[in-house]
Amino acid sequence: MLTFVLLDYKSAEATINCVSHYALKCKSSKEPISFVVVDNSDDIENFEKLSAAWPSVSCCEYDDSVLEEKVADGYRLFLWKNTCNAGYAKGNNDGAKIGAKFLNSDYFIFSNNDIVVLDEELSVEKLIAEANISNVAIVGPSIVGKDSKPQNPYFEKSFFLRWGLENLCYPFARLLPKKWSSSDLVEKFVENPVFRVMGSFFIISRSKFEEVDGFDPHTFLFAEELILSRKLHDRGYETHYLPSVHMLHNHSEIIGKNYNYGRRLMLRFESEAYYYRNYVGIASWRIALVRMIVKSYILRKNIVKQIKSLLK
């Protein structure tokens, strides 16, 4: 059983459309398909929209909240109302637990609800075959953004290059050599393994996911797949990139509507700082120093923005 785990945060329509899209793209798959949708918001109206989208089979309680079994385009679907916005990691961990307990899932595809399959059909068999290679844990496809620029795969970058140097040099950072930039995107993929793939869509077997206790719940919106890849890597597993499967990341604006640029950047910094401190061993004083650099960068960026607006 392959289970798609989708996390929803005040975006019922996008999630409903995403389930229908995957159901259509998986019609020719021989692998049994199912869905788990976790409503990660406190918006009752949002949950009601999700619940009304699919016919009900049964209803029970899971972890002190309502769990509804549905039928979505002929596939089994479990819809769970989380009691709070617990973040990406914990929400998806709960979704995986529901898949394991109620669907006996063998594989999980963790997906954003803004992913579009660009191929005529989603080659589930290709993804599973790659994930079944003995030392492989995570498999991610080719993903491009709305600008057609690639968003997979990634290599490992040092903490200072990832967060320190480019932010320190702003607004003259563009003069830095490309290898000194903060980007960790592999621009020309040659061969597997890679360090990580994007968390917006990837497949992993249930057994390997459970072996490392899933996502680390101490992050909120960022670095979850980074940490998961590291935990698996430390156990001898690899992350593979599968360029023959093609996806579009049709970026939603949900995060942008709830967090301004500076807040988003600091959330991402704190999540990645947690990773570098707890999984790489970067000293706390180094992280504190770079945190000041990042905050200074946000201040300088705002000043530059104000100057530009005055000059218009």
**Interval 245-303: pLDDT, tens:** 999 998 765 555 666 889 999 999 999 999 999 999 999 999 999 999 999 999 999 99
- In this predicted structure, what is the pLDDT of residue 223? 92
First CA to last CA across the chain, in angstroms? Answer: 57
- Cα 100 to Cα 41, 62, 84, distances in angstroms: 23, 13, 22
Pairing of strands 65-72, 56-62: antiparallel
The predicted structure's pLDDT at residue 83: 79
Ranges of each domain in the chain: 2-153+189-250
What value does the mean pLDDT of the chain take? Answer: 93
Q: How confident is the model over 191-196, as a mean pLDDT?
A: 97
Measured CA to CA, the distance from residue 242 to residue 298 in angstroms comes to: 36
**What are φ and ψ of residue 294, in 5° steps?**
-65, -45
- Work out the percent of the chain whose per-residue pLDDT is above 90: 84
How far are the Cα atoms of 79, 83, 84, 179, 256 from residue 42, in angstroms, in the given order?
14, 7, 6, 43, 18
Residues 85 and 160: their CA atoms lie apart, in Å, by 31
Estimate the crossing angle of helix 284-311 against helix 261-275, to 10 degrees.
160
Q: pLDDT digit string (tens) for 119-159?
A: 999 999 999 999 999 899 999 999 999 999 999 999 999 99
3-state helix, strand, coil in the chain (%, to 5): 45, 25, 30
Average pLDDT rounded to a whole number, residues 65-82: 95
The angle subtended at Cα 295 by Cα 289 and Cα 301, nearest 5°, is: 135
Q: What is the mean pLDDT of residues 162-185?
A: 94
User: Right CATH number for 2-153+189-250 from 3.90.550.10, 3.20.20.140, 3.40.50.920, 3.40.718.10?
Assistant: 3.90.550.10
The pLDDT of residue 255 is 58
